[in-house]
Amino acid sequence: MLWNGNLAYIFMPRTGSRSLNAHFAATWQGPLFGTASPAQLREIKSRSKSPTFVKLGRGHDNLGQLLDQLYRHGRTVRQMKRIVFVVRNPYHLVSSNYHFLRDQAAGGHKTANALMAAESSFDEFCARSNHPDPANWMMTDGALLNNMHILKFENLAEDVSDFDKGIGVNAMPLPHLNRSKFTHNPSAIFTERSESTVYERYRALFELGHYSRREGL
């Protein structure tokens, strides 16, 4: 996560987080706080022109973890002007993560998730994977916050540009970091079983109207 006095950015994996951390670090007024992975932290520190107190961590902290950090700094989430979160078509997100983890395993990154993906069919991966529930990033007490600002991965550069203009930030091109090596064709690997699993695990994105079931398949 990344935040300052008025703005916060929280993110799930495979939603352009490295690019957005770099962009927000360059455009948001500091000081900046939060937690980030090693690659994200390098981008934040290299791009920020303000004091930066972002700590090395897991990076993909959810809304509850943002609430905890803000509380420790004497703030509440409702005091923030905007909470930014990126949604992505769940079928594309899961297939992207599957290929990414298998590529990591082939490159010698022997994490538990990478090894699990490498030894699993896509159906097995969908069933065995610990999928994040997007509701944990988007909602508190069963409802969206009034200051939650949703961007869509599928038109991210345009959405970010509109967001920047809305908060009075000078427009800057969105960097495209950690670009995927794969051309995704989810319809080639999804079955009825894996589709049902992904639909249930990411139900919040469908019920809130960001995507329709089987969209993109």
List, run by run, the mean pLDDT of 10-residue segments along the chain (217 residues): 95 92 94 93 92 90 95 92 97 94 89 94 95 94 91 95 92 72 77 97 96 95
Measured CA to CA, the distance from residue 51 to residue 56 in angstroms comes to 16
Q: What are φ and ψ of residue 205, in 5° steps?
A: -65, -30
Which residues contact residue 143 at a Cβ distance below 8 angstroms, ignoring those fewer than 6 apart? none
Residue 171 inside a domain? The answer is yes
So what's the pLDDT on residue 191?
96
So what's the pLDDT on residue 108?
87
So what's the pLDDT on residue 174?
85
Q: How far is CA 25 from CA 2, 8, 29, 216, in A?
A: 8, 11, 8, 32
So what's the pLDDT on residue 80?
94
Residue 8 contacts residue 19 (beta carbons within 8 Å): no
Residue 216 inside a domain? The answer is no
For residue 57 the two structure tokens come to: 């961590």
Q: What are φ and ψ of residue 85, in 5° steps?
A: -145, 140
What is the total count of domains within the chain?
A: 1
So what's the pLDDT on residue 67?
95
Measured CA to CA, the distance from residue 97 to residue 76 in angstroms comes to 33
- Residues 8, 134, 20, 113: is their CA dihedral positive or negative? positive
- DSSP-H helix ranges across the chain: 17-27, 38-47, 63-72, 90-106, 112-118, 122-128, 135-138, 156-166, 192-201, 203-207
Residue 79 inside a domain? The answer is yes
Bridging pattern class, strands 139-140 and 143-144: antiparallel
Residue 214 inside a domain? The answer is no
- What is this structure's pTM? 0.92
Question: In which domain, by residue range, is 34 found?
Answer: 2-207
Residue 88 inside a domain? The answer is yes
Q: What does the pLDDT look like over 199-209, one tens digit per residue? A: 999 999 999 99
Q: What does the pLDDT look like over 155-192, one tens digit per residue? A: 999 999 999 999 998 877 888 765 566 566 788 899 99
Residue 217 inside a domain? The answer is no
Residue 66 inside a domain? The answer is yes
Residue 185 inside a domain? The answer is yes
So what's the pLDDT on residue 126?
97
Q: How many residues does the chain have?
A: 217
Strands of 32-36's sheet in order across? 52-56, 32-36, 2-3, 7-9, 82-87, 148-152
Q: Which amino acid is at 196?
A: S
So what's the pLDDT on residue 176?
74
The CATH number of whichever domain residue 195 belongs to comes to 3.40.50
